[in-house]
Amino acid sequence: MSPTPDLETAVAAVAARAREAAHVLAVASRATKDRALGAMADALVAATPRILAANAEDVAAARAQGTAEAIIDRLRLDEGRVAGMAEGLREVAALPDPVGEVLRGSTLANGLELRQLRVPFGVVGMIYEARPNVTADAAGICLKSGNAALLRGSSSASRSNEAIVTALRDAATVAGLPADVVQLVPGEGHDAAKVLMRARGLVDVLIPRGGAGLIRSVVEESTVPVIETGVGNCHVYVDAEADADMALDIVLNSKTHRVSVCNAAESLLVHEDIAATFLPRVVEALQQAGVTVHGDPAFTAHDGVVAATEDDYDREYLSLDISAAVVPSLEAAVDHIRRHSSGHTEAIVTESLESARRFTAAVDSAAVMVNASTRFTDGGELGFGAEIGISTQKLHARGPMGLPEMTSTKYVVTGHGHTR
């Protein structure tokens, strides 16, 4: 089914208002933007009862539809989660303003003064799934980076999102900014998202946040430039020259610290020279932590290891499962990663400088860890502050996307009558 012309008109109208708001926001001072973020945080706290009431309706409707409890948990808000959203907005206010930063500057031989400045994208569209806290996070990051936000959350969270956005919009006006710096995209279900994906010229960038299916469909269907985020089939490679204790810690932490996130490890590769001593230990430790190991024949020789299919090596489990294989060399590990990785994060555990050098040079992922858990690929952990997602594409931004990644650039060239 194609979206109706009415919906296209409605989305175009919303996008046009976002563009107008973006013009105002692009030249707003940091002080104004920070004041708006503070007002938004206060407004969320003040609106907590209304937000929780709306959320309760969403949860009841989801439950009536037989939605899985794990998804309902992501949908559910409580006082603490609303307070967390407000706190997130205050943290964004405390971060430096990326707009106006001079990235490159020089005076040319002919006297022309060249400056390359960070400027906002303009209108940023976000398409995301169940968690309503993304609504506030995205609005805050967009506002601070000078972008008007067009938000399309999941229909299951529509009442919660509506209550949150109403509070944010009111607060924006208190700070002297247009309410339209943040808007929800109208319409039901996937149709609204589809219209957003075809709104080239109206929307400058589209950022999908959610499962692999959502992201694939946005990437395939969108004519608006997309920043792909988040699918992580992350590998830990235990080199021949690894410290076995350290390797054990890193494998366990990467896999089990939090299983439902994109920077969790999904696959373990072990050099054959260390396999005889390391495999029994790592299999036992993983199993004790409740992890099912899907292994190659070297691994299935150990009790409780399930035989892996080729498909297992491509999976982002997001659960207490890990695929595992023994490799004859570092190069074989790199080859395996090239074939199966989603390009998010890979780690090597090694005491060899040469192995670390070869691995970090040859592995082409957003982040490569040496003797550290894959879980460190995170804007907060790496010190970038708030993040809107982890880009797994090579264009524009790669890895955690903070405020600077939410901007474009502009050259300003000043002369005094220069001609060629």
Q: How many CA atoms lie within 13 A of 27 on its CB side?
A: 3
Decide: is 246 part of the binding site for its own copies (CB under 8 A): yes
Decide: is 339 part of the binding site for its own copies (CB under 8 A): no
Decide: is 375 part of the binding site for its own copies (CB under 8 A): yes
Give residues with Cβ within 8 angstroms of 360, minimum separation 6.
348, 368, 370
Decide: is 362 part of the binding site for its own copies (CB under 8 A): yes
Decide: is 249 part of the binding site for its own copies (CB under 8 A): yes
User: CA-CA distances (angstroms) from residue 285 to 83, 281, 311, 339?
Assistant: 37, 6, 24, 27
- Pick from 122, 153, 178, 232 the residue near its own copies by CB under 8 A: 122
Decide: is 331 part of the binding site for its own copies (CB under 8 A): no
Give residues with Cβ within 8 angstroms of 151, minimum separation 6.
125, 126, 128, 135, 138, 139, 161, 165, 182, 183, 184, 185
Nearer to its own copies, 290 or 417 (CB): 417
Nearer to its own copies, 121 or 299 (CB): 121
Decide: is 420 part of the binding site for its own copies (CB under 8 A): yes
Nearer to its own copies, 301 or 395 (CB): 395
Does residue 276 contact residue 313 with C-beta atoms inside 8 Å? no
Q: How far is the CB of 37 from its own copies (least distance, A)?
A: 21
Does residue 407 contact residue 145 with C-beta atoms inside 8 Å? yes
Using left for φ > 0, alpha for ψ between -120 and 50, and beta otherwise, residue 4 falls in: beta
Decide: is 253 part of the binding site for its own copies (CB under 8 A): yes
Decide: is 119 part of the binding site for its own copies (CB under 8 A): yes
Nearer to its own copies, 63 or 418 (CB): 418
**Which span (78-86, 88-96, 163-171, 392-400) binds its own copies, by CB under 8 A?**
392-400
Decide: is 66 part of the binding site for its own copies (CB under 8 A): no
Query: Distance (Å, rounded) from C-alpha 247 to C-alpha 21?
Result: 51
End-to-end C-alpha distance for the chain, whole angstroms: 55
Q: How far is the CB of 302 from its own copies (least distance, A)?
A: 24
CB pairs under 8 A, 24+ apart, for 70-73? 71/130, 71/156
Q: How far is the CB of 54 from its own copies (least distance, A)?
A: 34
Nearer to its own copies, 156 or 256 (CB): 256
Query: Looking at 141-284, which runs of residues are DSSP E strands?
Result: 148-152, 182-184, 205-209, 234-238, 265-271
Decide: is 377 part of the binding site for its own copies (CB under 8 A): yes
Q: How far is the CB of 115 from its own copies (least distance, A)?
A: 9
Decide: is 399 part of the binding site for its own copies (CB under 8 A): yes
Query: Distance (Å, rounded) from C-alpha 112 to C-alpha 117?
Result: 16
Decide: is 412 part of the binding site for its own copies (CB under 8 A): yes
Tokens of 323: 């695929």
**Which span (2-10, 69-77, 251-259, 304-312) binds its own copies, by CB under 8 A?**
251-259
Decide: is 121 part of the binding site for its own copies (CB under 8 A): yes
Decide: is 225 part of the binding site for its own copies (CB under 8 A): yes
Q: How many CA atoms lie within 13 A of 168 on its CB side?
A: 31
322 Cα distance to chain centroid: 22
Query: Distance (Å, rounded) from C-alpha 205 to C-alpha 184?
Result: 16
Other beta carbons less than 10 A from residue 139's beta carbon: 28
Tokens of 214: 């959502």
- Pick from 13, 16, 27, 102 the residue near its own copies by CB under 8 A: 27
Decide: is 364 part of the binding site for its own copies (CB under 8 A): yes
Among residues 158, 242, 160, the alpha carbon closest in space to that of 193 is found at: 158
Written as one letter, the residue type at 251 is V
- Pick from 83, 174, 259, 370 the residue near its own copies by CB under 8 A: 370
Nearer to its own copies, 8 or 170 (CB): 8
Decide: is 241 part of the binding site for its own copies (CB under 8 A): no
Tokens of 309: 């299919």
Give the x-and-dash track for 158-177 against its own copies (CB under 8 A). Answer: --------------------
Give residues with Cβ within 8 angstroms of 415, minimum separation 6.
111, 112, 113
Per CB under 8 A, contacts with its own copies among 194-213 are: 200, 204-205
- Pick from 94, 114, 276, 289 the residue near its own copies by CB under 8 A: 114
Where do contacts with its own copies occur on this chain (CB under 8 A)? 23, 26-27, 106, 108-109, 112, 114, 116, 119, 121-122, 200, 204-205, 219-220, 223, 225-227, 243, 246, 249-250, 252-254, 257, 338, 356, 360-362, 364-373, 375-377, 381-383, 393-396, 398-399, 408-420
